[in-house]
Amino acid sequence: MKNSIDPTRVSLVGSGFLARGMVYALNNQSDLEVGRVLTRRDIESCNDFPDCDLLTNSVEEAINSAEVLLECSGDPVHATYVIEQAMQAGMPVVTMNSEFHVTTGSAFVQRGFLTEAEGDQPGSLAALHHEVCGMGFQPLVYGNIKGFLDHNPPRDSMEYWARRQGISLDQVVSFTDGTKLQIEQAFIANGLQTKIAQPGLLGPRCQDVAQGGAELAEVAEQLGHPISDYVLADGVKLPAGVFITAKHDPEQQSYLEYLKLGAGPYYTLVRNYHLCHLEIMKTIRGVMTGDEPLLNNSSQPTVSVAAISKRALQPGTLIERGIGSFDVRGSTIRIAEFPNHVPIGLLMGARVRRAISADEMLMLDDIELPESRAFDLYREILNQTTEVLSDSAAH
């Protein structure tokens, strides 16, 4: 039995930028420590890692060396494989991996403890949701803040920024072309039981978050439900965070105006930072003290992220990785409208079957997807979701 004064051991999945920062952070905590760090790389080549003695290529060793698993690989197919084994071992799983959640995460919601951590935009929005609802606000917009967007960025520019920022090329591409943003807002739509206004989201340009939030709130009211969306900076620098635009009871209007939230009817609350690995520790501590999951993709998702071609693709083209690709980008869609779409998170070593035009949505018949546990679970999720949608339509 674990002694209450012993630190909680956390095994990490992934050995990239975020995992390195997490190791540094955990080394300075008295109540948390690193168990093992699971990597698929050759350990002898990991010269950039803070402590190579922590690295392992064994999933079993990573699971057996800790009380909590932190999945932060950014790879939905690999994450699916590892998380399934951790849950079979009865281990609580914390993630910073929106890509996993919108691809196969729904298959694990009822299998054990699974939560996204606070620190990336979805977890930060979920935390803000609890705060604003606790104060009596009625959210209309769950918003991400985007500083720059280019759906088809040039390779040389992306390689430059990857070197400058010290992160992988596919991460830079997925941030720039909007794929990561679309994944995060699909995750929010499913996890917080809200919807999207349209495929690909609205993303109004604005010079002020409150201005953009109010514009989106008007759309939400017209639709009759809250929406997950984003605002795009229009020639100004906006905070690197998230926001919720909400309404409140009429009798609170004068109080909220006095408290500098404006005259209403829409009030925008901004969380102007997300500190990734530094905030993960809050979630891990919450897990150990009995907190409920902060955010997951729900067992019945309604929104997914489809792969959209960036250029004409010929039969036989190999798409090594969809997220962060120069071949495709991600776009939110309603599953009910496009049940045969290819989720961008499954595009790993996939080969094109037919000629595809630029800006075309890829369908399952268009692509040869390698068999994997992730593909199996996605088909189960799709079948279950389609049955639920059919039952709803029948009634």
116-172 confidence digits (pLDDT tens): 999 999 999 999 999 999 999 999 999 999 999 999 999 999 999 999 999 999 999
- Residues contacting 74, CB < 8 A, separation 6+: 14, 16, 18, 97, 99, 171, 323
Q: What confidence category does residue 198 fall into, taking pLDDT thresholds of 50, 70 and 90?
A: very high
Provide the pLDDT confidence category of residue 1 given band limits of 50, 70 and 90: very low
The CB density around residue 366, as the number of other CB atoms within 10 Å, is 21
Q: pLDDT tens, 204-247? A: 999 999 999 999 999 999 999 999 999 999 999 999 999 999 99
Sheet with 318-321: list strands edge to edge: 318-321, 348-352, 367-368
Class of domain 8-119+277-289: alpha beta
Residue 146 CA to residue 91 CA, distance in Å, equals 35
Structure tokens at 5: 């004064």
Share of the chain above pLDDT 90, in %: 95
Q: Give per-residue burial for 55-80: e unless 16+ CB within 10 Å, then b.
A: bbeebeebbebbbbbbbbbbbbbbbb
pTM of the model: 0.96
Q: Give the tens place of pLDDT for each residue, 345-379.
A: 999 999 999 999 999 999 999 999 999 999 999 99
Cis peptide before 265 (omega within 30 of 0): yes
- Rounded mean pLDDT of the chain? 96
Region 15-20: mean pLDDT is: 95
Residue 205, CA distances (Å) to 89, 148, 197, 325 in order: 47, 10, 16, 25
DSSP string, 200-258: T----EESSHHHHHHHHHHHHHHHTS-EEEEEEESSSPPPSSEEEEEE--GGGHHHHHH
Token pair of 20 as six digits: 């390195």
Query: Is residue 79 scored above 90 in pLDDT?
Result: yes
pLDDT surpassing 90 at residue 391: no
**CATH T-level fold of 303-393:** Type Iii Antifreeze Protein Isoform Hplc 12 (3.90.1210)
Q: How far apart are CA 336 and CA 334, in angstroms?
A: 5
What would the pLDDT profile of 269-295 be if each residue is shown by its tens digit?
Answer: 999 999 999 999 999 999 999 999 999
Average pLDDT of the segment spanning 303-314 = 98
Q: Where are the domains of the chain?
A: 8-119+277-289, 121-274, 303-393
9: Cα within 13 Å, side-chain hemisphere: 16
| Structure confidence at residue 88 (pLDDT) | 98
Whole-number pLDDT of residue 4: 56
